[in-house]
Amino acid sequence: MRSIRNIGLLQPIVVRRTHDGYQVVFGNHRIEACRRIGMKKITAIVNYFTDEEAFLARVTENLLRNSYMNPIEEAEGYRMLVNQGWTINAIAEKVGKCDSYICERLALLDNLDSHLRASVQNGNGHLTPSHAELLSRIPDKHHQTEIARLVETRRLSVRALENLLNGVPLPTKVRVEEESGAWCVHIPDDFAKGLGLRAGVQLSMYIRGRKLVLETPTTRRRNKQPARRDAPNRLLVQAVQGAS
């Protein structure tokens, strides 16, 4: 934007004629920069493009620039090409992506709950296209909305959502206190069950970076790691289930 303000628009945008005016094919970022600095007129090249060619040009430009493109509109464009006889592989090669990328975008139209699809299209909330692609793999749409609500309330990352769908428990805060001269960790039942812990099992607890690590002897043997006796803030504790 600064260069356009200083020396003007050196490269014209490319547009095509439509029934109600002109549509930008190349140069959306340039025209937006010109709008921001108050330019009223810019140079444009008018070319003929079919709907398919115009869509592919816009997608390619955005993907090359790593710019945001509405994922639902992108998926609808891919659906249009498929209906025109394009194969998934041909579309992927044209936009410089892998086949699975195109399939995951199409799944947003085919498998995702309509309310979640609208939320992603409008860009509302914490739900991202990557979240939506994972949610579209859930067959039950009611279950999709329940998990999406959890994503919003807990502000889950894409990695956390993927772990959740693979059966890994969500991170849970634990409370450590001293009881009868021994240190105890109160672990919720569902979290303990997911970790395979039982009440009274001895755990090694220490700080690693910003994480509180709870380690059982079985975990150490599986990872072939010796007990870290010199770890800072290390305590030998017992798990106590049934507390929130």
Q: Is the dihedral of CA 117, 123, 129, 134 positive or negative?
A: negative
Question: Does the residue 75 lie in any domain?
Answer: no
Question: Does the residue 132 lie in any domain?
Answer: no
What pLDDT, on a 0 to 100 scale, did the predictor assign at position 145?
93
How far is residue 46's CA from residue 224's CA, in Å, rounded to a whole number?
66
Question: Does the residue 219 lie in any domain?
Answer: yes
Nearest one of 54, 57, 52 to 82, comparing CA atoms? 52
Rg of the Cα atoms in the chain: 27
Question: Does the residue 147 lie in any domain?
Answer: no
Question: Does the residue 170 lie in any domain?
Answer: no
What pLDDT, on a 0 to 100 scale, did the predictor assign at position 84?
87
Three-state SS letters, 26-41: ECHHHHHHHHHCCCCC
How far does the chain reach from its first CA to its final CA, in angstroms?
A: 54
How far is residue 144's CA from residue 89's CA, in Å, rounded to a whole number?
28
How far is residue 98's CA from residue 90's CA, in Å, rounded to a whole number?
10
Please calculate the CA angle 150-152-158 and round it to the nearest 5 degrees: 85
CATH number at residue 29: 3.90.1530.30
Q: pTM to 2 decimals? A: 0.58
Cβ–Cβ under 8 Å, residues 31 and 1:
no
How far is residue 83's CA from residue 80's CA, in Å, rounded to a whole number?
5
Tens digit of each residue's pLDDT, the chain (244 residues): 677 776 777 778 888 888 888 888 877 778 888 888 888 888 888 888 888 888 888 888 777 676 677 889 889 999 989 998 999 999 999 888 899 999 999 999 999 999 999 988 888 788 898 999 999 999 999 999 999 999 998 888 898 899 888 887 666 655 655 555 556 666 666 667 766 777 666 667 667 776 667 676 655 445 555 444 444 333 444 444 444 3
Q: Which residues contact 95 (CB under 8 A, 6 or more apart)?
A: 56, 59, 60, 63, 102
Cα dihedral 107, 110, 115, 119, rounded to 10, equals 30
Domain housing 190? 175-241
Question: Does the residue 157 lie in any domain?
Answer: no
How far is residue 68's CA from residue 63's CA, in Å, rounded to a whole number?
8
Question: Does the residue 220 lie in any domain?
Answer: yes
Cβ–Cβ under 8 Å, residues 73 and 109:
no
In the chain, the number of structural domains is: 2
Question: Does the residue 187 lie in any domain?
Answer: yes
